[in-house]
Amino acid sequence: MTGCSKFGRLIVPVLFTRFSYGFTRSLPATLNSSWISPLQQQPNRAFFTTSRSMSESDEVAAAKAQAAKPQDDGAPTVFDKILSGEWDSNKVYEDDICLAFRDVNPQAPVHFLVIPKNRDGLTGISKAREDQKDVLGHMMYVAGTVGKKECPKGFRIVINDGEQGSQSVYHLHLHVLGGRQMGWPPG
């Protein structure tokens, strides 16, 4: 890249990628892409940075705002809109019970969600009824199967529940995260 210091060459793509999926396709043609890691060159994967401050505070604020509203007022959630086809998603798995798709705000190189197709009052794990055990077990099985395929070295499954659990969408969903070493303790 002509007229750009090495420092600028590293910072510009990182700042740009925080807001863009598939950024390698969006880079100016003058950039030499030899410095892009294999992870960044993978299609349908977002480049991941370790900065948490932006997403963490947004997620907590969204969770608090959602907790102040009725959790199951019958209004369609973002996941209902994805299930109906009103909104697009990048599907990784689908069957008659659940759907798995990539998170639009990934917190790891691999980050997808598993949701039940029929919400049926299943707004959070603490709201699960005994008659929903089969759905819950199936969702965990799908998360494990797809997680093993996408992250052969290991992955983490997370369920956020309620305000202090930072749940921002009241339609039960499992987060499957991997593709990097996870830290402990989480949160």
Active centre residues (catalytic): 173
Cβ(2)–Cβ(32) under 8 Å? no
Alpha carbon distance, N-terminus to C-terminus of the chain: 39
The angle at the Cα of 133, spanning 131 to 137, to the nearest 5 degrees, equals 155
Distances in Å between the Cα of 91 and the Cα atoms of 25, 56, 102 are: 20, 25, 7
Helix (H) / strand (E) element for 99: namely: strand 98-102
Distances, alpha carbon 47 to alpha carbons 1, 11, 39, in Å: 21, 14, 7
Distance CA 116, CA 96 (A): 9
